[in-house]
Amino acid sequence: MRLRNPLKIVSPIVVVVCVVLSGCVTETNDPLAQNKDPEKAVKTYVEAATRYMQLNQMANADRTLKRAHEIAPDDPAVNNALALFYTIEGEDEQVERYYKKALSGDQAFSQARNNYASYLYRKERYQDAIDQLEKVAKDYRYQRRYTAFENLGVCYLKVGEREDARKAFNRALQLNTNMPVSTLELAELALEDGDNQLTERYLRKYEKIAPSSPKQLWIGIRLQRRLGDKDKVASYALALKSMFPGSDEYKAYKASL
């Protein structure tokens, strides 16, 4: 049986494993007895466990996942959920075991592959993450391909592949124009290339779709310095100081004075 559990791994830029769900936990005392259907019972257990993880009720999540695993030990969604559980618990061997088991049970399970790539990124195994994300990006059925391309771009930057990163970020924006991370990374790449016009275009786009960030403000400062607009430099600098005084970008700004 194949169950798609509703897990969402956010961009490796954030490198946080989070569960995006709403509502309360609706696990019954015995879903198998209630449903008389093992597949429905497993789905109920996985959904309940996911909500328990969202609420940081790890003992309940553990108990519920064990029930699901007893019924369907080879189910990809069960193993994906177990991998997430052990990611939260920091048990790396188990994370590897269950992601690999999930993917061996369903090579086309792109959500699990994307989750695994996010885990690999957090472990600074960037090339391994790239290998997984390249497969996700080729899955035209995967509804969040744009996220895979964005994550690919971030990983490419980590291994020094700027042009591959640029292509990946552009593909992300082709699939979804509302991608702040891709937009800002393209702004920085343009700035590094000395293309002030393109930098400004991406920066303006970012400012329309996302709140201020340290990186955005620092790019703005460097761009306006090049353009010779002291008032805009001062405006960006004031925002960086007041909003993000402890950021690396503010430290870099002070060091540049």
* Residues 96-125: tens digit of each pLDDT: 999 999 999 999 999 999 999 999 999 999
pLDDT digits (tens, 9 = 90+) for 48-103: 999 999 999 999 999 999 999 999 999 999 999 999 999 999 999 999 999 999 99
State the SS3 of the chain.
CCCCCCCEECCCCCCCEECCCCCCCCCCCCHHHHHCCHHHHHHHHHHHHHHHHHCCCHHHHHHHHHHHHHHCCCCHHHHHHHHHHHHHHCCHHHHHHHHHHHHHHCCCCHHHHHHHHHHHHHCCCHHHHHHHHHHHHCCCCCCCHHHHHHHHHHHHHHCCCHHHHHHHHHHHHHHCCCCHHHHHHHHHHHHHCCCHHHHHHHHHHHHHHCCCCHHHHHHHHHHHHHHCCHHHHHHHHHHHHHHCCCCHHHHHHHHHC
12-25 pLDDT per residue, tens: 433 333 333 333 44
Domain 1-141 bears CATH identifier 2.40.50.140: no
Q: What is the pLDDT of residues 121-171, one digit of tens each?
A: 999 999 999 999 999 999 999 999 999 999 999 999 999 999 999 999 999
